Amino acid sequence: MKNPRPPPPFPGLVDRYPKSLHKILLVAATTNDGRYLHFDEVRHRDPPDGLDHEQWWLRMKIARHAGARPLPLTDTRGTPFHYVLTPGMHEALHIIDSRAAGRIAMPEEVTKPGPRERFLVSSLVEESITSSQLEGASTTRAAALDMIRFGRSPANKSERMIFNNYQAMAFIRERQRDPLTPDLVLRLHRLLTDATLSEDAAGRVQTLADERIHVGSNVTGEVLHRPPPAEQLHERLERLCAFANGADSTGFLHPVIMRYAIVIDKAEGNYSAYVPDLPGCVATGATVAEVEAEIREAIAFHVEGLREDGLPIPAPSSQVDYVEIAA
């Protein structure tokens, strides 16, 4: 692993090719496959006819700057992060938005308070097991279920991962309506790292007295990444929480970034839908497809209204799953 070759500075490229801009702007702003590539990879590809690699990169950067959207988060130099949605990303977001929208559809009996509570707890258990297995936990599902349901203490590192994940998700569920704060983040960190870190390291950010961690190459010793300075961490965490709560206006973020579960009910003559995480956000439609389209638009308007009023935007927290019951 090594650091990629840095691209030429954008302002310098503009100054270098003032008489060629008309020719540069006539070529496509992406590669043939539409991918968003780093300069280190672009320089190994064949540029369009009549352009060299720097001119091709300048064309890409002009297009990216035009579509870039800033975020209220910065790198270690204080430069704001930006993101760009390329045509391929828009297509992928449309597919996700139309085909993978969360939907709870089940018999009315299951949505009543008692069965609903059992359903949600079961979902938390299954999610804690699945997510931990993706992270490397090697215990069996049966052993994990036994530990959580009967309150048995974790017997090994894998069970500890699952137990901590379950505790953390239950903690999040209890506070799903609360604004995100640094204190909540650190409490969550303590739950997730319980019995895996030293007691004095869990639930806090690093300090100037701690050994600083970096990412480097085992082959060359080159440092690939250094985290922000310890003295900046508290301020950065505050800013991150403000961003998550919608306190910083960043314009419209595609719903895939904030994916809300919806409940669709069959009414007399039509369908109705509501969003458990967004009280008051409802829609109706003649068909399931129509009510899904209506509720999607309602969510966008609801979230934008909260942002314009300076109110916190509830984080998506409802979980979607199905349960099997005897016929």
pLDDT digits (tens, 9 = 90+) for 204-249: 999 999 988 889 888 888 888 889 999 999 999 999 998 888 766 5
The pLDDT value given to residue 210: 92
Q: pLDDT band for position 53 (50/70/90)?
A: very high
Of the candidate CATH numbers 1.20.810.10, 3.30.200.20, 3.30.70.20, 3.30.160.250, the domain formed by 75-100+248-327 belongs to: 3.30.160.250
Strands (E), the chain: 69-74, 80-83, 103-104, 215-216, 223-225, 262-266, 271-274, 282-285
pTM above 0.85, yes or no: no
Please state which of the ranges 123-132, 148-157, 183-192 shows the lowest mean pLDDT: 123-132
Asked if 23 contacts 243 with a C-beta cutoff of 8 angstroms, the reply is no
Task: Please choose, from the candidates 199, 201, 198, the residue with its C-alpha nearest in 3D space to the C-alpha of residue 210.
Answer: 201
Looking at the predicted structure, is the pLDDT value of residue 311 above 70?
A: yes
- Distance (Å, rounded) from C-alpha 285 to C-alpha 293? 9
User: Is 67's pLDDT higher than 80?
Assistant: no
Q: What is the pLDDT of residues 248-265, one digit of tens each?
A: 655 556 655 667 888 888
Q: Which DSSP symbol is given to 277?
A: T
Residue ranges, comma separated, of all CATH 3.30.160.250 domains in the chain are: 75-100+248-327
> 321 falls in which pLDDT band (50, 70, 90)?
low
- Name which of 67-71, 137-141, 212-216 the model is least confident about: 67-71
Kindly state the average pLDDT of the residues 287-315. Answer: 81
What gap in Å lies between CA 72 and CA 80, rounded to an integer? Answer: 6
* Predicted confidence (pLDDT) at residue 291 exceeds the cutoff of 60: yes
User: Can you tell me whether residue 96 is helix, strand or coil?
Assistant: helix
